[in-house]
Homo-oligomer: A and B are copies of this chain.
Amino acid sequence: MGDDHSTARPLRADARRNRERVLQIAQEALASDGLAISFDEIARRAGFGVGTVYRHFPTREALFEAVLLGRMERFVADARALATAEDPGRAFFGWFRTVVEQASANQALCEMLEGGTGPAFRRGTTLETDFAAALSRLLQRAQRAGAVRGDLRTEDVQDLLRGCLTAERRARARGGKVSMAEVVCDGMRSHPR
């Protein structure tokens, strides 16, 4: 325990290259095939024996986390950056659309957000809590500004986001013209009538 990555002796040059290659291949594999892809398959695609890959990532889940965690954290960072924007409605809807747009191109990311089940995004994780908190601030500000239906709660928006990913991913796969996120955002707006 406590393998101190920052102070540990640097990896041998070949190991470093190989580690990088595994991450690269895993990234592509997860984006196109989703969380269900097998560890063996990733090793095969990268051209390594499974033992080699396990040397770098102790567990299937650890590998997936290494690939996906950063992406998720960026969503949280984006939300925080927008928490003080001058137009709360624009900030909220912009963030929502950005997340849908970015994630819908990545199968594994979608599954993680949709299911709340992937690595490092389980119920109660720091990441999951931060995500909900950041979203909550955006939402409340937008609601106070009258841009979003007042009866929507954070969990509602989270679920709508998940649903929107499901829809947008498929729409994107078939080259659809209408943005599903656009439709859902319209549904979340305060009813003018």
A residues in contact (CB < 8 Å) with B? 114, 149, 151-153, 155-156, 159-160, 162-168, 170-171, 174, 176-178, 180, 182-188, 191-193
Contacts of A176 on B, CB cut-off 8 Å?
153, 155-156, 159
Complex-state Cα separation, A156 to B172, whole angstroms: 10
Q: Which residues of B contact A182 (CB under 8 A)?
A: 187
A sample of 13 cross-chain residue pairs with beta-carbon separation below 8 angstroms, ordered by A number, consists of A114-B166, A149-B183, A155-B176, A159-B166, A159-B171, A159-B176, A160-B183, A162-B170, A163-B164, A163-B166, A182-B187, A185-B187, A186-B191
Minimum CB distance partner of A151 in chain B = B178
Residue in B closest to A187 when the chains form the complex, CB atoms: B187
A100: min CB distance to chain B, Å: 10
Complex alpha-carbon distance, A47 and B177, angstroms: 51
A153 x B178 contact (CB < 8 A): yes
With A176-B156, A178-B153 given, is the CB distance from A187 to B192 under 8 Å? no
Residues of B with C-beta under 8 A to A171: 155-156, 159
